[in-house]
Amino acid sequence: MNARKSDTANIDNPETWVDEYGDFLYRYALSRIKDPSVAEDLVQETFLAALRARENFKGRSAGRTWLIAILKHKIVDYIRKKIREPSSDKIETLSDLADTDFNDHGGWQIRPFKWAINPAKIYEQKEFLDVLYRCLAELPERLAEAFMLREMDGLSTEEVCKVLDITATNSWVMLYRARMSLRRCLENKWLSAGQ
C-alpha cells in the first residue's frame, strides 16, 4: 500500500485520527495560537468539522493536507473573533521597528548581507527554517498574525484585512515591518551562526 492510499485509509477511520494526526495538528495550532488549551479546542473543532465533511473528502488530497486546510479555517475564525478585542501592540507603536535599518537620508544603515541560499532549494536549509521559526516567534503578535495569514496560509491581502479588521495600507505597512524584522533577525541569528 503506498503512502497516499494508507493516508486515505486513515481518514476513513476516525478512530485513528487522534493517534495519527492529533500531535501534528496540535503543534500546527500551537505555532499560531500560543495558548495550549485553545490549540486543543481548535484540533477538536477540526476533527468535528472533518467528521461532518468526511463524505465529501473522497481522497482528493492527502488526509493530513485536508485536515490542515480545515484547521487553518478554524484558526482564522479564532483570530477574527479575538481581533475584536483590544490589542496591546497597535500599529502606531510598531512604526519605528524598521527605521533603525536606514539613516536620515534613507540609505542603508546596516547593509544587507549576501545570503548563500537558493529559494528553490529552501527545503535543504534546515537551519534556516529553524531560525526563521524562532524569528517568527519573536515578532509582535499582530505583525506575526498578518505575516502568517499572508505567507503561510496564503490569504490575499484583502482577506488579511478582513480577518484583522485593518485597512489595505495598514496591511502593507505591517507586512513590510514583519519582513524587515525577519530579515534583520535572520541576519543576526542565522548568519552569525555561520549559515
Partner 1 sequence: MHWMFSCKDVSQLLSESMDRGLPFYQRVLMRMHLLMCKYCARCREQFEAIRAASCHEELHGKDLDDSRGLSNGGKERLKKFLENDLTGAP
Could you list the residues that contact partner 1 (CB under 8 A)?
14-15, 17-19, 22-28, 30-31, 40, 43-44, 47-48, 51, 68, 98, 101-102, 105-108, 111-115, 117, 119-120, 122-123, 125-126, 128-129, 132-134, 137, 147-148, 150-152, 154, 157, 168, 171-172, 175-176, 179-180, 182-183, 186
CB of 85 to partner 1, least distance (A): 25
Of 84 and 105, nearer to partner 1 (C-beta) is 105
By C-beta, is 58 or 126 nearer to partner 1?
126
Of residues 8 and 125, the one with the C-beta less far from partner 1: 125
Q: How many CB atoms lie within 10 A of CB 43?
A: 25
Task: Assess contact for 89 and 142: CB atoms under 8 A.
Answer: yes
CB atoms within 10 A of CB 128: 17
Burial (CB < 10 A; 0-12, 13-18, 19+), residue 52, is exposed
Q: Are the beta carbons of 41 and 20 closer than 8 angstroms?
A: no
**CA angle (76 as vertex; 97, 65 as ends), nearest 5:** 110
Nearer to partner 1, 26 or 78 (CB): 26
- Which of helix, strand or coil describes residue 90? coil
